[in-house]
Amino acid sequence: MNQNQAIKIQHLNKSFGKGDAYVDVIHDANFTINKGELVALIAPSGAGKTTLLMMLGCVESPDSGTIWLGDEKVYENKWLTKETRKIRREKIGFIFQAHYLIPFLNIVDNLTLLPQTNKVKDEESKQKARELLEYFDIAEKENAMPSQLSGGQNQRVAIARALINDPEIVLADEPTAALDTNRSIDVVKMLKKIAIQRDVAIVMVTHDERMLEYCDKIMKIENKTIVFNDA
């Protein structure tokens, strides 16, 4: 096994529906993503980008194949643990197109919600949240409400939230779609820095070609399978 591997996929298949409603989405996908890499995932609408991310995040079940997350084989024609939630909590951070911060909690409480459900002590999780807010240059907003922040600032909080449990993998579904070009470039550069400094593998869905130059690899879904281009 490659010590550096964060995600390894073998012979992955996924379809939805039956009969007339049948859609074959991913057919015999094979790839490896290493720690420290920022990978762009691009493909037309409906090609299966979100479905692929959700399988990597142990949210959506494949039909067959193998998924390794780090050195743990988590799926081989079935989930190898009943606790896929635990894998998600411990290994994976999610970032979505909308920030999904909780409107009635201030910024620091939005960040500490997940660690607290993982039974991390209050002071410890607050400390961690403040370090991340510092890292993302929004420390002065810790007591503000999400409605008092700009779109870009809220998205930085959402990225901080995705990192609060020190995940090995971050899955980002169009994280810059709601932002203007400069803010988008800031967010992608930030993701690149996180990948390098924290040795995290990041898969980022994007429709914006201007973001590709900041990524290490470009992953495409073509003819229902995965192909790579160097960025």
By the criterion CB under 6 A, which residues form the site for ligand ATP? 16-17, 23, 25, 43, 45-51
Q: Tell the smallest beta-carbon distance from residue 178 to ligand ATP (Å).
A: 14
Alpha-carbon torsion (174, 207, 60, 200), positive or negative: negative
The item of ligand ATP, Mg ion, none sharing an interface with residue 17, based on CB under 5 to 8 Å by kind, is ligand ATP
Q: Is 138 or 211 the residue whose CB approaches ligand ATP more closely?
A: 211
Q: What angle do CA 16, 19, 20 make, to 5 degrees?
A: 90
Closer residue to ligand ATP, CB minimum distance, 62 or 115 = 62
| Residue 196 interaction partner, one of Mg ion, ligand ATP, none, beta carbon < 5-8 Å per kind | none
- C-beta of residue 29 within 8 angstroms of C-beta of residue 9: yes
Give the whole-angstrom CA distance, residue 101 versus residue 106: 9
CB of 177 to ligand ATP, least distance (A): 10
Closest approach of ligand ATP to the CB of residue 173, in Å: 7
Q: Using CB under 5 A, which of the segments 28-36, 45-53, 56-64, 113-121 binds Mg ion?
A: 45-53
176 binds Mg ion (CB under 5 A): no
Does 50 interact with Mg ion (rule: CB under 5 A)? yes
Task: Please state whether beta strands 217-222 and 201-205 pair in parallel, antiparallel, or not at all (unpaired).
Answer: unpaired
Residue whose CB is less far from ligand ATP, 29 or 149: 29
H, E, C per residue of 69-126: ECCEEEEECCECCCCHHHHHHHHEEEECCCCCCCCCCCHHHHHHHHHHHCCCCHHHHH
Of 165, 171, 162, 163, the C-alpha closest to 117 is 165
Min dist CB 61 to Mg ion, Å, is 17
Residue closer to Mg ion (CB basis): 109 or 174: 174
Q: Of the two residues 17 and 19, which places its CB atom closer to ligand ATP in the complex?
A: 17
CB of 209 to Mg ion, least distance (A): 17
Binding partner of 147, given ligand ATP, Mg ion, none, CB within 5-8 angstroms per partner class:
none
Q: 8-19 as b/e, with b when 16 or more CB fall inside 10 Å?
A: bbeebbbeeeee
Cα(53)–Cα(201) distance, rounded to whole angstroms?
13
User: Which residues make beta-bridge pairs with 222?
Assistant: 225
- Closest separation in Å from C-beta 39 to ligand ATP: 15
Residue 51 interface partner, choices Mg ion, ligand ATP, none, CB cut-off 5-8 Å depending on type: ligand ATP
Cα–Cα–Cα angle for 94, 38, 159, rounded to 5 degrees: 35
Give residues in contact with Mg ion (CB under 5 A). Answer: 50
